[in-house]
Structure 1
């Protein structure tokens, strides 16, 4: 019952909306994974297009099921990932044609440091790499994490935790 359209996706040539009011970070990701393109089933790959407005951010996040290979097509991005135990930041400024790899499961980000829009494409070695955005997961979980845990873990004032929970739970 397989057809040619199971192996076809159209849409990566079109920039995604990065400037709508609901988008507080100024970036948008167009995902092509097995949920979008059935032909990726069992192939262990997926693809994303990342569009950034000037100073747009793809916030710190992880892919628990895949390593990401990013290539900048337009603009200039500050990218990086962090390890833990010991904590170390690996970061680079990337220009058009530059490539950077984010190892599986590590917190990473991309930030457009230019005054113009930026575009990047990323391949992942999983048909469904998943995405966990750190701030959303920690401060926007439902039900919420006990505030005392967040206060102690992040060494924050209770008012700051309440503010962050309000901001991220509304997303």
Structure 2
């Protein structure tokens, strides 16, 4: 059973990239905001109207080819610091997906804006697997540290808006994390017949946060005369 679970993980993340927040845009400002004594001190560090404005569409991760995750969080939008939450926009091109991952410091609320997105989630060992299919105006919740994945199962672009109850939710891609462990651990779990180096080498590093999805979806779109190029 363990091998089957890990095999599923590999199959769904071989072409994956982790959904990760951006890097700090002003480290000094972020540090000052985090130690500010009062709200007035924070306001004086963010005196301009432009300090309170964030444009998701200007991010290099705002793409549908194959997709991406754009975060407005402590790293990318300093005004979030001290307010206890952050936001993201998930763009999923046709048949693209977010690989299985967790947010170690936040619960995630996901609201579909357009398209059809299938979600998969499990909170801990022994818990039931929760699956949803979301269309515009529908939502689901991923509790803090729950393993979850999201896939556009349609032939048109899908988009979701997400909120987190942390300014720094973090993100950890399971496949990438698994293969950073010593080979004697990964080999023991997967079995002697698996070439660990070959499998690990097929998992890309952090990118826009999305990758091409299943061949089944791509073939289904092709039958509808929608031929989607599988890009990474």
Pairwise same-fold verdict (TM > 0.5): yes
1:70-121 CA deviation, whole Å, 9 max, x = no partner? 0000100000211333142111111111110000011011100001110111
| Higher normalized helix content (fraction of residues) | 2
| SS across alignment from 2:50 | helix
1:81 to 101, 112, 121: 121
d(CA) in 2 for partners of 1:84, 1:5: 42
| Higher normalized strand content (fraction of residues) | 1
d(CA) in 2 for partners of 1:114, 1:137: 29
Unaligned runs of 5+ in 2: 1-44, 207-232
d(CA) in 2 for partners of 1:86, 1:53: 33
- Conserved 8 A contact 1:74-1:119: yes
Higher relative contact order (CA 8 A, sep 6+): 2
Shift of 1:155: 4.1
| SS across alignment from 2:203 | helix
1:104-161 CA deviation, whole Å, 9 max, x = no partner? 011011100001110111000100000101112212x3xxx222211222446331x2
Q: Which sits farther off after the overlay, 7-16 or 85-94? A: 7-16
Aligned to 2:137: 97
- Conserved 8 A contact 2:80-2:167: yes
d(CA) in 1 for partners of 2:193, 2:164: 38
d(CA) in 2 for partners of 1:48, 1:170: 20
Kindly name which structure, 1 or 2, has the bigger radius of gyration based on alpha carbons.
2
Kindly indicate whether residue 194 of structure 2 is the aligned counterpart of residue 158 of structure 1. Answer: yes
Aligned to 1:35: 75
Unaligned runs of 5+ in 1: 20-25
Shift of 1:6: 2.2
Kindly indicate whether residue 214 of structure 2 is the aligned counterpart of residue 168 of structure 1. Answer: no
TM-score, structure 2 normalization: 0.64
Report how many aligned residue pairs link the two structures: 160
- Conserved 8 A contact 1:74-1:117: yes
